[in-house]
Chains A and B, each alone.
Chain A
Amino acid sequence: MDINELIGKLQGEFEDIPPGTLKPESKISDIEGWGSMHALIVIALADTDYGVTIKGDELRKVQSVQELYDLIIEKQKNPSE
């Protein structure tokens, strides 16, 4: 996958966020209306579509969409972590 695929999937899930808002450098905490429901959706998406488990505290440390992408790739390479 590449980062645009991830952005496309996130955009598809977050109907409340206007299209085009999400970019690799977008700061997650700055996304208007970002909340705990979005976090659950990201965890579910990472699990179902990418086969990786992101913990709550790991997600809280993620600053940008790029970092989220990097975390998923890292976890796919090292499934035990």
Chain B
Amino acid sequence: MAFFSVENIRIKGIGAAVPKKEISNWDYTYISESDRKLLIKTTGVEKRRTIGDSGVTETDLAKAAAEKLLIETNTSKDEIEILVFVSQTPDYFLPASSILLQNRLGLKKSCMAFDINLGCSGYVYGLSAISSIMSSGKFKKGLLLAGDTSTIGTPWEDKSVYPLFGDSGTATLLEYDETAAKTTFSLNSDGSGYEAIIVRDGGTRSPYTRESFDLKERNQGVIRADRNLELNGMEVFNFSVTVVPKHLDEFLQKTATTPDSYDFFVMHQANMLMNETIRKKLKFPREKVPYSIQKFGNTSSGSIPLTIASELKDTVAGEKTFLMSGFGVGLSWATVSLKTNNLICTDIVEI
């Protein structure tokens, strides 16, 4: 069972970057006005950011978020000993984007760097990996960069994905500190649900062909190509309102905590109805559960840090206790409880 604690590591700061281009779902004229209203009410997504055809990639967003965070936390680039990049929209098949970022950020060559290929659960998985390595190696400082440019794979003609997703890049600075409270993780996976959220073509199982780019009608209002993102909303919804709350209940039991023990419960921003169903089942008060989905949509692995930077910036002075949970593509789900002390959140950078 992947349930464990890491000692001596604390999150020092969180920053985020989004593309300048904003899209409003009120302008999504592909569906009727009443469908639009219901869509916004159900998913919670009013506005989103997209890279569009700007040529900006996830590493550009992550770099912008990281640079601002390093400045605002007075961190020298030479202090960073590990960089972990979590994304499913890397620059290349190879080399890994984390290594490109080591160079582009001007980090030293003795800094270790690697990628993690996870989405919705990716931030918590990334935290577990970087915290564990920093703790065992007594690394002073490390950078976790997480985010996706999901809108590269969500065509206007597919109402099941187009209005949901937004792009973002985030940076989290961690530091070694022997006075830090322990961080506790639970990490899980279920590959039998691999088709629930999938990009079918472009990997080695099903390489690109000319047909990969052909838009085909799959359902009413769902026209996509096999290179695009495919989402089985009903299946993901069911997974999220059954497996996830049960997992969170167990996590609270194992850590001997209750909703009262936490200042904030930050969930992956999947879908407002889904997240609210989880929140109500766990009996977390609404004011402890921030949402950025209205402004930024579902931002995949960037959603938890983006929500913290966007919604909690002015409320994190002093010691704060967080529960964070990510769940989705894989299927994969992960939860962490941790404490921060005067967490620094930067303003969101627009590029």
Interface residues of chain A, those whose CB is within 8 Å of chain B, are: 14-16, 33, 35-41, 43-44, 47-48, 53, 55-56, 59
Contact = CB atoms under 8 A, between A and B. Distances in A.
B274 A44 contact: yes
Give the interface centre of A40, A43, A44, A48 by most chain B CB atoms within 10 Å: A40
B42 A41 contact: yes
A15 B241 CA distance: 23
B271 to A, nearest CB: 8
Given A14-B38, A38-B38, 5 more contacts: A15-B41, A40-B233, A44-B237, A48-B280, A55-B234
Please provide the 10 A-B residue pairs with the shortest distance between their CB atoms, ordered closest to farther: A56-B234, A16-B34, A37-B42, A44-B277, A37-B38, A44-B273, A47-B241, A53-B242, A48-B280, A40-B237
Interface of B is mostly: helix
Contacts of A16: 34, 37-38
Interface string B31-63: 010110111011100000000000000000000
Contacts of A36: 160, 233-234
B241 A53 contact: yes
B107 to A, nearest CB: 44
A40 B271 CA distance: 11
A71 B109 CA distance: 62
Given A33-B34, A35-B35, A37-B42, A47 B281 contact: yes
Contacts of A40: 42, 233-234, 237, 271, 273-274
